[in-house]
Chain A
Amino acid sequence: MGAVAQRPADSALFEELAVPLFARLYNFACWLTQDRAAAEDLVQETYVKALKGFGTFQPGTNFRAWMYRILRNTFLTSQTGLKAAQLGPLDDQADEPGTSETPESLLLARMEQQSIQSALEELPVHFREVILLCDFEEMSYQEIAQALGIPIGTVMSRLSRARKAMRALLAEKLEGVRR
């Protein structure tokens, strides 16, 4: 990790911008790693990297997306991230057959929050993260593109596929509930 020289004013600004994101970054890290200890390591490393690399951050661009990108890249190169990526191979070009069913409107009335969390956990990490960034972090497609380092069109297609997969998982759970 190359140390980038920074001014004290940069450090103060970094703290001002980065500390408010702490809890949400940790939450996101937990979703990615599925392990609190690994999430702590991930967040810690993210902050260290971000602070050291803050000199490369372009003022006026999206700091939140920049932080999430560092966290995600750090995750992808970690042991947990490599394992997660192997479990959920990425294919943005392929499209899955669409499901015309909309079970979630029925399901949501009955399912506990835990079921949604369970479905999120079961999603491949690339689907999980794009859903979390969009629905939980309420990032725009543009921000997500920056955070994930992918084109905005890929964000849209991946998000669409992730939601289809999510709905499919929820449908399975609905079937389980019905049985």
Chain B
Amino acid sequence: MSCELWAGKIEAYVDNEGSREHFAAVEEHLRTCPGCARDALSRIQLKRATAAAALRYTPSRDFRLRVEKSLRKDRKSAWALAWRPALIAATAMVFVVVASTLVWTRQIETRQAIAELVDLHVATMASANPVDVVSTDRHTVKPWFQGKLPFSFNLPDLPSTQFKLLGGKVAYVDNSPAAQLLFASGKHNVSVFIAQDQPGALSTALLGGAVRDRGFNIDAWNQNGLRYVAISDTSSADIQALADLLRAAARQ
């Protein structure tokens, strides 16, 4: 092989490129060829001199700081971008949790309120003396509550309707005194609880509209600072009709 052909191999050798066999072959040739050995030496010297001479420019401190600052800025924005979906997801999750908790809490309150009212109504029906004032006359029943309750209310005139007033008694709903009025609708009885409107009361959960639970229909509304809750195993329409009569009487 001519020295011309060795030139390329020597160049790779100086650049530390090639296999062990390649290095061994080059070194063997350099030992026997003064011309190529001189060429290799000059290449190594040039390479080293170039490496030394090439380190010529140093960045200023200001420039370095500027680039590092821009990196940090991009990094912050990358953080912000990266966190944005997570924040949205977290916010949505918090919203869902809060909403779920509110719905769940409301459902619990509704169930508790229904349970309390159903218990009172059923207990009244099961009692040998369901009411303390027994009268179909509203002008008898209403005055009976005077001095027993911190509020007053009007009762509708019922003779021309399907309902009949059976009487009333004092009950406790949501730990507050309430008037429990008993009405007959055909063979069904309807309890109407009238108490002061208290925002924190359990029955507040029933204000959303008519509820049906375990065969009982329940309707609740507020009027004149009082809370009315009607409960019966009669139809929802009957309860609505009685509710309308009570509302009309309250407006008088």
Which residues of A come within 8 Å of B, CB atoms?
Answer: 5-8, 10-12, 14-15, 18-19, 22-23, 26-27, 30-31, 36, 39-40, 43-44, 47-48, 51-52, 98, 102, 104-105, 108, 113-114, 116-117, 120, 131-132, 134-136, 138, 140-141, 156, 159-160, 163, 166-167, 170
Q: Given that A26-B59, A141-B15, A156-B8 are known contacts, is A12 also in contact with B52, CB under 8 Å in the complex?
A: no
CB distance from A33 to the nearest CB of B (A): 10
The DSSP consensus for interface residues of chain B is: helix
Q: Which residues of A contact B42 (CB under 8 A)?
A: 102, 104-105
**Is the C-beta of B88 less than 8 angstroms from some C-beta in chain A?**
no
CB distance from B77 to the nearest CB of A (A): 9
CB distance from A9 to the nearest CB of B (A): 9
Task: Please tell me if the beta carbons of A51 and B8 are within 8 angstroms of each other in the complex.
Answer: no
**Is the C-beta of B68 less than 8 angstroms from some C-beta in chain A?**
yes
Compute how far the CA of A113 lies from the CA of B54 in the bound complex, rounded to whole angstroms.
9
CB distance from B50 to the nearest CB of A (A): 4
Task: Please tell me if the beta carbons of A27 and B67 are within 8 angstroms of each other in the complex.
Answer: no
Q: Given that A11-B78, A15-B71, A105-B45 are known contacts, is A120 also in contact with B15, CB under 8 Å in the complex?
A: no
**Is the C-beta of B70 less than 8 angstroms from some C-beta in chain A?**
yes
One of A12, A47, A120 near B53 (C-beta < 8 A): A120
- Residues of B in contact (CB 8 Å), total 41
Compute how far the CA of A1 lies from the CA of B210 in the bound complex, rounded to whole angstroms.
61
CB distance from B73 to the nearest CB of A (A): 10
One of A19, A47, A114, A141 near B17 (C-beta < 8 A): A141
Q: Which residues of A contact B249 (CB under 8 A)?
A: none
Supply 5 further A-B pairs (C-beta < 8 A) apart from A36-B57, A39-B57: A12-B75, A114-B53, A135-B51, A141-B12, A163-B43
Q: Given that A6-B78, A8-B78, A113-B52 are known contacts, is A26 also in contact with B41, CB under 8 Å in the complex?
A: no
- The 10 closest A-B CB pairs, nearest first, are A30-B57, A136-B54, A116-B53, A26-B59, A11-B75, A105-B42, A135-B50, A102-B42, A11-B78, A113-B53
Q: Which residues of A contact B64 (CB under 8 A)?
A: 22
